[in-house]
């Protein structure tokens, strides 16, 4: 396993609760197993007998303390998926040295049992039958032949003392392959090509003090044109996120690394070089913000290894389509000229 650390934990002794999923992984909360219904009923009796302690004296259900504050992430079965241990070695050797530990969603390998994976897949099928699983995720299940899973930092909020936001910063600098006369950054060009005029977060706004409020609104799901309509608590939260974007060095560090590790662009880069693959990983990560009363916990996650050989044709084809189709320069058709421009314009 090279440098990856393996944690030996018994997840068969706890309950995994579906939280979210993406194209490659499913994330679960960890819960103590609930009491058997007959046991719960017994605890309601007023008379416990000479050898049975009352509920206040019964030892609480045990959960390994190493699982506290963690989520479980398991890989789906896909021909293009990178084995978990390879992604973990990439994280340990390439990504982890680039950032302070407090700015990363930490991840540790463990070995799930075959029964655990089969049970999770059975529950996914149940979720599909009762409409609890997103339709676009149907028919793809966990890889039961995968030897490893990950325990990751839990950045979700289980109470009202925190607010949680997440977004993908994407390409914080322009693509090195983009035409010099571009009117859209790489992220905005791709969004317009795929979805049309639907507004979204322009990554360049995250780097511009004059556009920080617009970026903060996009992160929070607010309309920057309707600030007067929002409550005092919403405006206070927006102010806190704006201050974070202005003062915290994390996103500027991320931008510099993206540019340093891919100075030439996908059309000229060696798509199997470790630096280029790191740049593509850093262009597709997620920033998680856990906003408390007096602090913001900001961590980067979804830092999986990008498989260069499998992705090379896709990356280059996409860049070629953006360039040749006029999506960077906003000349894709006559009607669109001057419309749907990003900060670059």
Predicted local confidence at residue 54, as pLDDT: 47
169, 26: one domain? no
pLDDT in tens, 87-112: 999 999 999 999 999 999 999 999 99
Same domain flag for 112 and 81: yes
| In-domain check, residue 238 | yes
| 217/148 same-domain check | no
Same domain, 145 and 175: no
Residue 300: which pLDDT band, with cuts at 50, 70 and 90? very high
CA dist 120 and 142 (Å) reads 8
Structural domain includes residue 158? no
Residue 61's pLDDT band (cuts 50, 70, 90): low
pLDDT surpasses 90 at 254: yes
With respect to residue 338, please indicate whether it lies within any of the assigned structural domains.
no
Strand partners, 25: 75
Range of the domain at 224: 163-324
Q: What percent of the chain is predicted at pLDDT more than 70?
A: 86
In angstroms, the CA 73 to CA 189 distance is 32
Range from 65-69, 150-154, 164-168, 317-321 carrying the lowest mean pLDDT: 65-69
For residues 105 and 234, membership in a common domain is answered with no
Q: What is the pLDDT of residue 131?
A: 95
* Residue in this structure with the two tokens 């009363």, named with its chain if needed: 293
Judgement on whether residues 133 and 209 belong to the same structural domain of the protein: no
Q: What is the pLDDT of residues 136-181, one digit of tens each?
A: 999 999 999 999 999 999 998 777 778 999 999 999 999 999 999 9
Q: Which of 24, 14, 341 is nearest to 205 (CA)?
A: 341
Domain assignment present for 214: yes
The answer to whether residue 299 sits within a structural domain is yes
Q: Which two tokens stand for residue 96?
A: 């982890």
More confident residue, 25 or 42: 25
Residues 229 and 140 in one domain: no
Taking CA atoms, 111 is separated from 33, 80, 85, 97, 150, in Å, by 19, 21, 11, 25, 8
CA dihedral sign of residues 128, 130, 131, 134: negative
Res. 303 pLDDT band, cuts 50 70 90: very high
Burial readout 87-125 (b: 16 or more C-beta within 10 A, e: otherwise): bbbbbbebbeebbeeebbbbbbbbebeeebbeebbebbe
Per-residue pLDDT at 307 exceeds 90? no
Give one DSSP letter per residue of 172-183, joined into a string.
Answer: SS--TTS-TT-S
Q: Name the residue with higher pLDDT: 75 or 307.
A: 75
For residue 109 the two structure tokens come to 């390998």
Question: How confident is the model over 188-238, as pLDDT tens digits?
Answer: 999 999 986 667 899 999 999 999 999 999 999 999 999 999 999 999 999
Residue 334 has pLDDT above 70, yes or no: no
pLDDT (tens digit per residue) in 19-38: 999 889 999 999 987 644 44
User: What pLDDT is attached to residue 16?
Assistant: 95
Q: What is the mean pLDDT of the chain?
A: 87
* Same domain for 314 and 189: yes
Q: What is the CATH number of the domain that holds 57?
A: 3.30.200.110
Domain boundary among 124, 153, 182: 153
Residue 318 CB neighbour total at 10 angstroms: 15
Give this prediction's pTM. 0.85
Q: In this structure, are 286 and 191 located in the same domain?
A: yes
Answer yes or no: are the C-beta atoms of 4 and 85 closer than 8 Å.
yes
Please state the domain count of the chain.
Answer: 2
Among 97, 127, 153, give the residue marking a domain's end.
153
* 342, part of any domain: no
**Co-location of 98 and 211 in the same domain:** no
| Residues listed for the chain | 345
* 332 domain-assigned: no
Q: State residue 65's pLDDT score.
A: 84
Do 144 and 192 have their domain in common? Answer: no
Of 103, 118, 153, the domain-final residue: 153
Mean pLDDT confidence for 51-78:
72
User: Does residue 228 lie within any of the structural domains?
Assistant: yes
Is 190 in the same domain as 298? yes
């Amino acid at each position: 396993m090279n440098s990856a650390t393996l944690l030996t934990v018994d997840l068969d002794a706890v309950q995994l609760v579906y939280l979210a999923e993406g194209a490659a992984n499913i994330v679960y909360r960890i819960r103590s197993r609930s009491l058997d219904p007959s046991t719960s009923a017994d605890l309601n009796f007023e008379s416990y007998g000479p050898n049975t302690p009352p509920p206040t004296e019964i030892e609480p259900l045990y959960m390994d303390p190493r699982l506290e504050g963690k989520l479980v992430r398991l890989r789906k079965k896909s021909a293009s998926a990178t084995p978990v241990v390879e992604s973990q070695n990439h994280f340990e050797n390439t990504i982890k040295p680039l950032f302070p530990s407090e700015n990363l969603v930490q991840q540790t390998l463990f070995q799930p049992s075959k029964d655990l994976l089969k049970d999770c897949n059975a529950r996914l099928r149940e979720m599909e039958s009762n409409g609890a699983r997103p339709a676009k995720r149907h028919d793809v299940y966990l890889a039961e032949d995968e030897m490893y899973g990950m325990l990751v930092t839990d950045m979700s909020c289980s109470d009202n003392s925190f607010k949680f936001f997440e977004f993908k910063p994407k390409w914080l600098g322009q693509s090195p392959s983009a035409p010099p006369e571009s009117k859209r950054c790489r992220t905005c060009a791709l969004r317009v090509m795929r979805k049309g005029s639907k507004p979204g977060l322009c990554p360049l706004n995250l780097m511009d003090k004059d556009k920080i409020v617009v970026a903060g609104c996009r992160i929070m799901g607010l309309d920057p044109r309707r600030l007067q309509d929002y409550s005092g608590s919403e405006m206070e939260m927006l102010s806190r996120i704006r201050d974070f974007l202005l003062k915290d060095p994390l996103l500027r560090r991320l931008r510099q690394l993206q540019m340093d590790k891919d100075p030439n662009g996908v059309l000229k880069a060696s798509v199997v070089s470790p630096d280029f693959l790191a740049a593509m990983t850093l262009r597709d990560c997620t920033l998680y913000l856990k906003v408390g009363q007096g602090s913001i916990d900001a961590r980067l996650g979804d830092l999986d290894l990008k498989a260069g050989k499998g992705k090379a044709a896709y990356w280059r084809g996409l860049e070629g389509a953006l360039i040749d189709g006029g999506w960077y320069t906003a000349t894709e058709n006559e009607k669109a000229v001057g419309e749907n421009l990003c900060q670059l314009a």
